[in-house]
Structures are given as structure tokens and as C-alpha cells.
Chain A
Amino acid sequence: MARALINVPAKAKRGDIIEIKALMSHPMETGYRTGPDGALVPRDIINRFICTYNGEEIFSADLFPAIAANPFFSFTTIAMESGRIAFRWIDDRGQAHLETAEIAVE
């Protein structure tokens, strides 16, 4: 897995609802597509996405081949305290990619 783009506000007021966006570069190979040789290209997708806020899960998703390539998610959370928002993508091979963002809550 390669590059991820995440969008978390650097600062927020306590109690504010903030929007979080995460995009991961990944082909999300469905396993239903044929390659140039006519054979099916084996399935290779990110099947799980988890977002935690200071270690506590705030959002997660089980993904299927019907999710577009370079999976994108946007969701919300309440800014509780300053700390770290962590993102984890897990693919069919069990490989995980981790990204984090810091947020200052005042």
C-alpha cells in the first residue's frame, strides 16, 4: 500500500462536531476483472478501515469490491480532547497501513 491523504482540522473547540476525510491509494482489484491475457485478475482489496481517537474507535468499515479504487471516506466526530487521530487500512493479505493526525482542542 502506498499513499494516504487525510484531512483532520488542526484545531477545534471542545464539543464541536468535526469532519474527517481519508483517502487511500489502492487499486481495489475486484477479482471479477480479466487481465490482458484473458485470465481473471486475483482479488486484492482493502477490506477494513478503522479510525481511532486517542485509542478509542470512532468509526470503522467493512469493505467489499463495490468500493471504488482509492477508497475514500468522510465521517464526523466530536472534538473531545487534544490528541491523536489514527487511521488504519487492512488489505486482503493482512497488510496494514497506518496514518496519524494531531488535533488541538481548546
Chain B
Amino acid sequence: MSRKPRPVGTSRREILAAGAGALALIVARPARATPESMADAIKAFVGEAEVREGRVTLELPALVENGNSVPLTVKVDSPMTAQDHVKRIAVFNERNPQPNVALFYLNPRAGRALVSTRIRLGDSQNIVAIAQLSDGTFWSDKAELIVTLPACVES
């Protein structure tokens, strides 16, 4: 009767320890790309040139169940002749650990500017594809998608 019951809740010491553990987890997470770092990566690719919307079609599923393997297709409206062709296509992301996805090099022997691959997505985000044409102009397309099970969350 006279015995003082032990507090039911968690002790101050335990809370502090748990807090420190949670903080360590947050710190251990690698830095993420941001819309700003994507903008920097795009600038490194295009330089001072103007990027116009159009001519590029970026095909991605709108809703992705598994971020570990997402089909991506880029098409560019180009005759692919020696005078007028696509030289490079770059793909960027906003929220993976780094903003670059891939850089494709094409030439008139492709016949068609059409490339497919599979990518990883760490989160729901915008993906941007930019094509550099032989006349030096840059064209882009953007796709927004939702990822229900992102890549890289679990080991």
C-alpha cells in the first residue's frame, strides 16, 4: 500500500536516448536532390542556352507501384538527317539522391530519335528530359509521377 508505484511512462533517460537514436537515423540518410540541384544539373547540360518546351515526348507511367524499375521512353520529333538531328538527350530528376538519370548520345544513323530504358525513383516527383539538336537548340518535356513504393527506402 505504501509502496510508491513506478511511473508507467517512459523515463526521461529513455526518451533522450531514443531521440538521439532517431536523430542519428536522420543524419545517416544521404542528401537528396532538390528542384534546385536539378536546375543546377540542367544548367551544366544546357549552359546559357534557352530550353523550349516541345518536340520532346517523355513517356512515363503516371502511377508507379515500384520505384525500383520504372519504364521510361523519350521521343524527339526530328527527321534525324545529317543537317537536322538530335545529338544528346539528358534525363533529370528532382528527388533522387542525385539529379542526373542518364545522358544518351545519338547521331543520324539512329534513323529515329527514340530511346527507352528503366529508371529508379526514390520518391514521387517530376522527371525532365531535354534534347539537344544539331542546330544547338534545346527542347524539353516534363512528366510528374506518383510512386507508392519508392526505391532506396529499404536496404
Interface residues of A (CB under 8 A from B): 17, 30, 32-36, 40, 53, 56-69, 71-78, 80
Contact = CB atoms under 8 A, between A and B. Distances in A.
Given A59-B106, A61-B103, A68 B120 contact: yes
B124 interface: no
A99 to B, nearest CB: 17
Interface string B108-130: 01111011111111000000000
B110 A66 contact: no
Interface of B: 28, 30, 68-70, 93, 96-98, 100-107, 109-112, 114-121, 152, 155
B104 A59 contact: yes
- Give the interface centre of B28, B68, B102 by most chain A CB atoms within 10 Å: B102
A72 B70 CA distance: 11
A54 B68 CA distance: 35
A68 B119 contact: yes
Given A30-B120, A72-B118, A65 B107 contact: no
B101 A67 contact: yes
